[in-house]
Chain A
Amino acid sequence: MVSPAIALAFLPLLLTMIIRYRYYFVLLYRAVLIRWVRDCLTGLSREERAFQYILTHATPGDAQSILDTFDHWCSKVEFISHIGPKKGKILDRLLQEHCPITVLELGTHCGYSTVRIARSLPIGARIYSVEMDERNAQVAEKIIRLAGFDEDMVELIVRPSDEVIPRLREDFGVERLDLVFMDHWKRCYLPDLQLLEGSGLLGEGSIILADNVIFPGAPNFLRHARRSGLYEVRVHRATLEYIRGIRDGMAELTFLGIK
């Protein structure tokens, strides 16, 4: 009925789609297919596999070595979506400029970004790291202790972020947050931002850094940040971590203070 000629006419379209979105296919292969295969083969979760690799290949106590091993694993073996080396450089520069004392991190995952922030902080600073998932939090704790950061510097909280933020002041005695780093579910960026605004923990000059605002993207968050007038927004454009060709960005919001 449908002749082969019409089917062949769709061939250019197929080729175009494949060539134009080749990086997304590569990402799909690495982030989804390989992970699924390895999960079935080894029975461990991806984070546990990462921890085992780091245990065997990195020098304990050396934050830089742990970060390098992590980068190596993510680019060569499997793919984990946290802040990569390129965007990490932007983060380092920001930390050096502002030297925050109190840092809130939403979404620890494996602890890569926690280690990255902790090594640039001055003595006496404190990071509150929030992670919702139990198993990930355990892996993250091990990695952070392996890097040599103790209880004084890094505090890991294992509860969903929308429960933690309203109770930060009472439970942990936090008065003002100098830096907030968001890297958890993109859908939660906007609600958490609004919770932070409501809780009064942000002061003038507080910085909120949100990762992956372009891919997968958090359009509502960006729209709110630009329209509300409370923030000065700047989007740092870069590529998605460990994959070249997919564009991504980090949003840096500077709280201007409620007038």
Chain B
Amino acid sequence: MNSAFTTWKWRKTLREVRRSRQQLQRREQLRWTLKEQRRNMRNATKQQGKRVRNMKKESESKSESDSAPESKDNQAVGVLGSLTPEELEKLKEAVDERKKLIATMRGKPWPMKKKLVVLSCVLSQGVTGVFIISFLYYSNCQKWMKFQRDFENFKTACIPWEMKIKEIESHFGSSVASYFIFLRWMYGINMILFGLTFGLVMVPEALMGKPYGSIPRKTVPREEEASAMNFAILWDFGGYAKYSVLFYGYYNSQRAIGWLKFRLPLSYFLVGVGTVAYSYMVVIRTMARNANEEGGGDDTSFNFSWKTFTSWDYLIGNPETADNKFASITTSFKEAIVEEQESRKDDNIHLTRFLRVLANFLVLCCLAGSGYLIYFVVRRSQKFALLGLENYGWWERNEVNMVMSLLGMFCPMLFDVISTLENYHPRVALQWQLGRIFALFLGNLYTFIIALMDAIQLKRAEEEIVKKNMTIWQANLYNGTVPDNSTAPPITVHPADIPRGPCWETMVGQEFVRLIISDTMTTYITLLIGDFLRAVLVRFLNNCWCWDLEYGFPSYSEFDVSGNVLGLIFNQGMIWMGAFYAPCLPALNLLRLHVSMYLQCWAVMCCNVPQERVFKASGSNNFYMAMLLVILFLSTLPAIYTIVSIPPSFDCGPFSGKTRMFDVIQETLESDFPAWFGKMFSYASNPGLVLPFLLLLVLAIYYLQSTSKTYKRVNMELKKKLQTVSWEVQMYVQMSPTVND
């Protein structure tokens, strides 16, 4: 079954284009025919209404011209006489019903308007427009309901990529789809972050700040000018890319810019803090919401019977949708079977425990080995850096990167193989796998941060030297002119010639951007080679190979949920770490996620096969959130440390000239707010006030935690009680026929 399924999938991409075109045409035709029908119906009702009105008008006019009252009756009799006796009966019944309805309405204690609206809504469901009491309210009520329906449809249609994810879910199960849902959620967060950094930091500086070339920090230095436009330099984010709004160093430290008096340094600082605060809030809110949904447990009986008899959707008319529905029902059966198997497993506890301990020991050995290898390689690269990197070839310069990416690719495979010893439920096994790869990637993170800290220290030492040289250079500049204080004109030097310090913040930003780009490239290339090329080879070499490639050794790859989820989470961690020093990072990440979504959706449907054990992933959502929270915490720590403890560069960035970056807050409080505000703030930030407040928060958390535990316990007890009551009722019902006999 597998090979037919995969070959069918392989041809899907060609068939899809043709089918979707046909579908579109068919849908258009359907829509036109439906529109026609609706128009005809509307016309019919209008005509009926017109006929009734005309009849009334005729009768009225006739009655006016014909003053005798009998003529009206004659008219009415004439109209009524044209109907058969059955129709007369029906009319009489309908009229009686309406009278009853109106009588009940009259009895209710509602305002008149409400009564009229309710009446017209009730009436409008049956008849096509002849016995209408208040046409205005009827049409308004209908229009409102229609508007609400359309709005709901619009809101569902606005959710991006929904059909794609549903299709993937129907073929691959909810675990693979959960990755894509997570990706989409990340995209939403990055959209907000991008909005903040772009709108409040990059755009004001670009529009209202000083233009390129006006001050030294905004100009490419003279030495670099020749190569500033080279593609290689630009790809490395040097040259013109370095001296632009993309990085920290471009921003001016002027307190208020433009006609709006926009406080750029304050905005920069607050956007940095706000990014982190927003991320925390969103993650914790999502965790809380997921916990709410999980709260009610599933104690369904007759699970498989429900699935067998109620799964099919009889409204499906499209063959492709029917295929997808078939695949999704099969997948859900497989998931249910796995759940059932797991709940029934009869195991030898001691052997299982021993194997699990052994597996964890092996994994720890592997992690320790890789950690030591990375440490060794970083030490070697530091040695190379001291001796000068030019003496060594490409291998030595990129040794650290190579070793880290190789370990990142191979160790997860080893963990996967070791985890077959443990014999867990697939969902639990996935969580363990995620945890282990997390520990591995933390090693990478640790080395990256160590390397960065070393580089920052180097740059700061360089900066001291440059500061000293600056005074000598300035003295030399004025040496040639007459030392006359008042009448000597200030010597104008082109900004490109002024010596400037090595801006360590821009260097940090550049490192992060380079890391993100290389990580993205690695992911895409691995995807293309590991998945796509492999699938092409298996598909076309199978005809002339001695064993069956599809079932046997290479076969098609499975979608690696854990690796991809962790890649996403660590990527986001890098963004959070670096967004303060490179405001362009959220924009870059947004682009990357957008491309990833389309590329990975295509790759999954084209090159991957479903896993053998498909399981429900609803429980993993909170696990991903928990890991994201940990990474958020870990990645904001270094950023906060550098902000608080390292002084900013003296000649670049919005905080140049200050002793610490957060001095901008103090400055704003002093100059922009009234005096009493500053005093109040200083009282509020007194440690004597802050510590008791923190203590109070801790106690509140403890209290809320204990109450939620009690509520959960009470919930479970109620559920059990409900179950016992229903069983008792069943027993009673079963026994009662015998009692009656």
The answer to the question of B123 belonging to the interface, with a C-beta cut-off of 8 Å to chain A, is no
The answer to the question of A37 belonging to the interface, with a C-beta cut-off of 8 Å to chain B, is no
User: In the complex, A151→B367 CA distance in Å?
Assistant: 67
Stretch binding the partner chain, chosen from A11-19, A115-123, A201-209: A11-19
**Besides A1-B395, A218-B548, 15 other CB < 8 A contacts?**
A1-B393, A10-B410, A12-B370, A12-B410, A13-B410, A16-B416, A21-B553, A214-B552, A215-B548, A217-B549, A219-B542, A219-B548, A219-B550, A222-B3, A223-B7
Q: Are B403 and A5 in contact (CB under 8 A)?
A: yes
Q: Are B399 and A5 in contact (CB under 8 A)?
A: yes
In the complex, chain B residues whose CB is within 8 Å of the CB of A56: none
Stretch binding the partner chain, chosen from B294-302, B373-381, B470-478: B373-381
A to B CB contacts below 8 Å, 24 in the list: A1-B395, A9-B406, A9-B407, A12-B366, A12-B410, A12-B413, A13-B410, A15-B417, A16-B413, A16-B414, A19-B417, A21-B553, A24-B553, A186-B546, A213-B548, A216-B547, A216-B548, A217-B547, A217-B548, A217-B549, A217-B552, A219-B548, A220-B543, A226-B4
The answer to the question of B396 belonging to the interface, with a C-beta cut-off of 8 Å to chain A, is yes
| Shortest Cβ gap from A179 to chain B (Å) | 24
Size band of the B side of the interface?
20 to 34
In the complex, chain B residues whose CB is within 8 Å of the CB of A213: 548
The answer to the question of B561 belonging to the interface, with a C-beta cut-off of 8 Å to chain A, is no
The answer to the question of A2 belonging to the interface, with a C-beta cut-off of 8 Å to chain B, is yes
The answer to the question of B551 belonging to the interface, with a C-beta cut-off of 8 Å to chain A, is yes
Q: Are B395 and A2 in contact (CB under 8 A)?
A: yes
The answer to the question of A8 belonging to the interface, with a C-beta cut-off of 8 Å to chain B, is yes
The answer to the question of B411 belonging to the interface, with a C-beta cut-off of 8 Å to chain A, is yes
Most B Cβ at <10 Å: residue of A21, A217, A222: A217
In the complex, chain A residues whose CB is within 8 Å of the CB of B4: 223, 226
In the complex, chain B residues whose CB is within 8 Å of the CB of A1: 393, 395
Q: Are B410 and A6 in contact (CB under 8 A)?
A: no
Give residues of chain B (525-569) contacting chain A, Cβ–Cβ below 8 Å. 542-543, 546-553
Q: Are B411 and A12 in contact (CB under 8 A)?
A: yes
Q: A216-B547, A220-B543 are in contact. Are A5 and B376 (CB under 8 A)?
A: yes
Residue of chain B at shortest CB distance from A19 = B417
Residue of chain B at shortest CB distance from A219 = B548
Q: Are B399 and A6 in contact (CB under 8 A)?
A: yes
Query: Which of B376, B414, B549 is A12 in contact with, Cβ under 8 Å?
Result: B414
Q: A214-B551, A215-B551 are in contact. Are A3 and B414 (CB under 8 A)?
A: no
Give residues of chain A (198-248) contacting chain B, Cβ–Cβ below 8 Å. 213-220, 222-223, 226, 247
User: In the complex, A5→B366 CA distance in Å?
Assistant: 15
The answer to the question of A76 belonging to the interface, with a C-beta cut-off of 8 Å to chain B, is no
Interface string of B440-463 (1 = CB under 8 A from A): 000000000000000000000000
Q: Are A9 and B373 in contact (CB under 8 A)?
A: yes
In the complex, chain A residues whose CB is within 8 Å of the CB of B395: 1-3, 6
User: In the complex, A141→B411 CA distance in Å?
Assistant: 54
Query: Which of B410, B417, B551, B552 is A20 in contact with, Cβ under 8 Å?
Result: B417
In the complex, chain A residues whose CB is within 8 Å of the CB of B552: 214-217
Size band of the A side of the interface?
20 to 34
Give residues of chain A (78-131) contacting chain B, Cβ–Cβ below 8 Å. none
Q: Are A6 and B548 in contact (CB under 8 A)?
A: no
Q: A217-B551, A220-B543 are in contact. Are A9 and B410 (CB under 8 A)?
A: yes
In the complex, chain A residues whose CB is within 8 Å of the CB of B3: 219, 222-223
In the complex, chain A residues whose CB is within 8 Å of the CB of B385: none
Give residues of chain B (344-377) contacting chain A, Cβ–Cβ below 8 Å. 366, 370, 373, 376-377
Which B residues contact A (CB, under 8 angstroms)? 3-4, 7, 366, 370, 373, 376-377, 380, 393, 395-396, 399, 402-403, 406-407, 410-411, 413-414, 416-417, 542-543, 546-553
Query: Which of B417, B549, B550 is A16 in contact with, Cβ under 8 Å?
Result: B417
In the complex, chain A residues whose CB is within 8 Å of the CB of B393: 1
In the complex, chain A residues whose CB is within 8 Å of the CB of B548: 213-219
In the complex, chain A residues whose CB is within 8 Å of the CB of B543: 219-220
User: In the complex, A29→B376 CA distance in Å?
Assistant: 38
In the complex, chain B residues whose CB is within 8 Å of the CB of A214: 548, 551-552
| Shortest Cβ gap from A153 to chain B (Å) | 34
Query: Which of A6, A16, A19, A24 is B403 in contact with, Cβ under 8 Å?
Result: A6
User: In the complex, A91→B296 CA distance in Å?
Assistant: 51
Q: Which 7 pairs show the lowest CB-CB distances between chains A and B?
A: A217-B548, A9-B406, A12-B410, A216-B547, A13-B410, A12-B414, A16-B413
| Shortest Cβ gap from B526 to chain A (Å) | 14
Residue of chain B at shortest CB distance from A185 = B546
User: In the complex, A16→B413 CA distance in Å?
Assistant: 6
Residue of chain B at shortest CB distance from A2 = B395
Q: Are B410 and A8 in contact (CB under 8 A)?
A: no
| Shortest Cβ gap from A12 to chain B (Å) | 4
Q: Are B410 and A5 in contact (CB under 8 A)?
A: no
Q: Are A6 and B406 in contact (CB under 8 A)?
A: yes
Q: A220-B543, A223-B3 are in contact. Are A5 and B380 (CB under 8 A)?
A: yes
Residue of chain A at shortest CB distance from B407 = A9
User: In the complex, A219→B555 CA distance in Å?
Assistant: 13
In the complex, chain B residues whose CB is within 8 Å of the CB of A10: 406, 410
User: In the complex, A216→B546 CA distance in Å?
Assistant: 7
| Shortest Cβ gap from B557 to chain A (Å) | 14
User: In the complex, A179→B346 CA distance in Å?
Assistant: 42
Residue of chain A at shortest CB distance from B413 = A16
| Shortest Cβ gap from B398 to chain A (Å) | 10
Most A Cβ at <10 Å: residue of B393, B416, B417: B417
In the complex, chain A residues whose CB is within 8 Å of the CB of B406: 6, 9-10
Query: Which of A3, A215, A219, A222 is B399 in contact with, Cβ under 8 Å?
Result: A3
Query: Which of B370, B402, B416, B547 is A6 in contact with, Cβ under 8 Å?
Result: B402
Q: Are B373 and A3 in contact (CB under 8 A)?
A: no
User: In the complex, A3→B417 CA distance in Å?
Assistant: 27
In the complex, chain A residues whose CB is within 8 Å of the CB of B553: 21, 24
Residue of chain B at shortest CB distance from A248 = B551
User: In the complex, A226→B552 CA distance in Å?
Assistant: 20
User: In the complex, A16→B366 CA distance in Å?
Assistant: 12
Q: Are A3 and B413 in contact (CB under 8 A)?
A: no
In the complex, chain A residues whose CB is within 8 Å of the CB of B551: 214-215, 217, 247
| Shortest Cβ gap from A211 to chain B (Å) | 14
User: In the complex, A20→B419 CA distance in Å?
Assistant: 12
| Shortest Cβ gap from A194 to chain B (Å) | 16
| Shortest Cβ gap from A81 to chain B (Å) | 13
User: In the complex, A10→B409 CA distance in Å?
Assistant: 10
Residue of chain B at shortest CB distance from A18 = B417
In the complex, chain B residues whose CB is within 8 Å of the CB of A217: 547-552
User: In the complex, A63→B7 CA distance in Å?
Assistant: 44
| Shortest Cβ gap from B472 to chain A (Å) | 43
In the complex, chain B residues whose CB is within 8 Å of the CB of A19: 417
Q: Are A5 and B417 in contact (CB under 8 A)?
A: no
Q: Are A15 and B399 in contact (CB under 8 A)?
A: no
Q: Are B413 and A9 in contact (CB under 8 A)?
A: no
Give residues of chain A (7-43) contacting chain B, Cβ–Cβ below 8 Å. 8-10, 12-13, 15-16, 19-21, 24
Residue of chain A at shortest CB distance from B547 = A216
Most B Cβ at <10 Å: residue of A2, A6, A218: A6
User: In the complex, A76→B417 CA distance in Å?
Assistant: 28
| Shortest Cβ gap from A2 to chain B (Å) | 6
User: In the complex, A6→B404 CA distance in Å?
Assistant: 9
Q: A216-B547, A218-B548 are in contact. Are A16 and B377 (CB under 8 A)?
A: no
Q: Are A5 and B407 in contact (CB under 8 A)?
A: no
User: In the complex, A171→B167 CA distance in Å?
Assistant: 57
| Shortest Cβ gap from A249 to chain B (Å) | 9
Most B Cβ at <10 Å: residue of A1, A216, A219: A219
In the complex, chain B residues whose CB is within 8 Å of the CB of A5: 373, 376-377, 380, 399, 403
In the complex, chain B residues whose CB is within 8 Å of the CB of A218: 548
Residue of chain B at shortest CB distance from A247 = B551
| Shortest Cβ gap from A232 to chain B (Å) | 14
| Shortest Cβ gap from A5 to chain B (Å) | 5
In the complex, chain A residues whose CB is within 8 Å of the CB of B377: 5
Give residues of chain A (120-164) contacting chain B, Cβ–Cβ below 8 Å. none
Q: A216-B547, A219-B3 are in contact. Are A9 and B417 (CB under 8 A)?
A: no
